[in-house]
Amino acid sequence: MVCFRLSPVPGSGLVLLCLVLGAVSSYALELNVTDSEKATCLYAKWQMNFTIRYETTSKTYKTVTISNFSTATYNGSICGDGQNNPKIAVQFGSGFSWTVNFTKEASSTYSIDGISFSYNISDNTTFPDAKDKGILTVHDAVGFRIPLNNIFRCNSLSTLEKNGVVQSYWDVHVQAFVQNGTVSTKEFLCEKDKTITTVVPITPTTAPPPTTTPTPKEKPEVGSYSVNNSNGTCLLATMGLQLNFTHDKVVSVININPNTTDFTGSCQPQTALLRLNCSNIKYLDFVFAVKNENRFYLKEVNVSMYLVNGSVFSIANNNLSYWDAPLGSSYMCNKEQTVSVSGAFQINTFDLRVQPFNVMEGKYSTAQDCSADDDNFLVPIVVGAALAGVLILVLLAYFIGLKRHHAGYEQF
């Protein structure tokens, strides 16, 4: 964790910012604004990225994803007073800014009033060959109401889309108008998070405990996922996913529904990340890596899921070796495969095809099929069987010849 202590903002006290470096350049931002008496008045912790589609001078379109906020500053973030409302203000990159405004409503609620994102399309590093120039701004009037002395929580992925800009937010925790300098422990959940924390009342009974055998699941629906960067599509994945996990000696099976699953990620020269998120899955990360400068493979899987009893199931393994294929190609396996992340968590894949590097024109390259792996095992088996057959024939011929030789002596 790298912490930056910024200079005091007039009228708002000291701003403390912590940036936590996550997997594959994913940044979690944490902001604590204090008043003149050094009491917390505004608190926020969140993750975000921005995907922007823009027109080039050659009348084509490109897409760029902005996810690195390591150089962010927070000038203008304030607690609010009689004349100004609380505000989170973030500046990053070359002329980029992001602002959230809060409004107090009556005496019982406050609202996230609006979110504004401004980007400098004149920045040739981020937007090469952009047709337009200058600072462009998109504003979304959110108007989301939150009870006072509640912290708003939304771990699920939320998106805002307007004018070719997609804003993605997840792992959000925010509270404005903090009372008595203490951030509340009482959470007000977004709708997506509400659907995964409801606990069904259980009537006490003397019946035997339920079996730990999971209910058989049908084959999951196949979903298509992609990740974009400044050069276009950089990662492609098509697969049906079935999660098998054991918690408190109970085995459960979940099929991922691609129609209700959000996805994001990032691409780097040596690593690539695909992150899936839905109502009961905080995140499911697939991290790919390059090895020997000529092949890629699935190196890491991280998962965090919400269970019906309100607890969280989390597993991580960064020492895997699945889906190995040459760079410049894709990996394909139509049959069912199992990725064993741990003894308590496995992923069954169906109709799998992935390409995390060197995607050209948004299309898959030639695939290496998993059946080739089977062939590698079959070749020595077939050769061994053939040699055994030849040996048996030689021995049979020897014994037959020996028998005839003895028969000739008896006749003589």
What pLDDT is attached to residue 249?
84
Tokens, residue 8? 């005091």
pLDDT digits (tens, 9 = 90+) for 280-337: 888 999 999 999 999 999 999 999 888 877 778 888 898 999 999 999 999 999 999 9
DSSP string for residues in 201-221: ------SPPPP-PPPP-PPPP
Cβ–Cβ contacts within 10 Å for residue 249, how many? 7
Give the pLDDT confidence score for residue 218 in this predicted structure: 86
231 CB contacts (<8 Å, ≥6 apart)?
62
Q: What is the pLDDT of residue 21?
A: 31
pLDDT top residue among 326 and 215: 326
- Name which of 254, 159, 253 is nearest 213 in CA terms: 253
Residue with tokens 């997997």: 23
Predicted confidence (pLDDT) per residue in 12-37, tens digit: 443 333 333 333 334 578 899 998 88
Residue 196 near residue 190 (C-beta atoms within 8 A): no
pLDDT at 381 over 70: no
Question: Cα–Cα distance between 412 and 407 in angstroms, integer?
Answer: 9
Q: What DSSP designation does 6 have?
A: P
DSSP calls for 346-379:
EEEEEEEEEE-S--BTTB--PEEETHHHHHHHHH
Is a pLDDT exceeding 90 seen at residue 101? Answer: yes
Strand partners, 170: 47
Instruction: Compare 352 and 61 and report the one with higher pLDDT.
Output: 352
CATH code of the domain occupying 222-371? 2.40.160.110
CA-based nearest residue to 281, from 320, 241, 239: 241
Q: Comparing 48 with 329, which gets the higher pLDDT?
A: 329
* Distance, CA of 14 to CA of 3 (rounded, Å): 14
Q: With the C-alpha atoms ordered 252, 299, 68, 53, is the resulting torsion angle positive or negative?
A: negative
Q: Which amino acid is at 184?
A: S
Helix (H/G/I), strand (E/B), else coil: 193: helix
- CB of 47 closer than 8 Å to CB of 32: no
Please give the C-alpha separations between residue 318 and each of 27, 230, 281, 297, 302, in angstroms, as whole numbers. 19, 27, 19, 12, 8
Tell how strand 281-291 and strand 295-306 pair up: antiparallel
199, pLDDT greater than 60:
no
CA distance 308 to 254: 13
The string of DSSP codes covering 225-242 is EEEEETTEEEEEEEEEEE
pLDDT at 219 over 80: yes
- What pLDDT does 406 receive? 56
Mean pLDDT on 234-239:
96
Q: Matching CATH topology for 29-193 and 222-371?
A: yes
Work out the pLDDT band at 208, boundaries 50, 70, 90: very low
Report the largest interatomic distance among the alpha carbons of the chain, rounded to a whole angstrom.
128
Residue 5, pLDDT > 90, answer no
Percent of the chain with pLDDT over 90: 48
Q: What is the CATH number of domain 29-193?
A: 2.40.160.110
Map out the domains of the chain as residue ranges. 29-193, 222-371
**What's the N-to-C CA distance of the chain in angstroms?**
98
Q: What does the pLDDT read at residue 372?
A: 52
Give the HSE-up count for residue 358: Cα atoms under 13 Å, Cβ half-sphere.
17
Q: What is the mean pLDDT of residues 186-209?
A: 56
Mean pLDDT across the stretch 117-142? 92
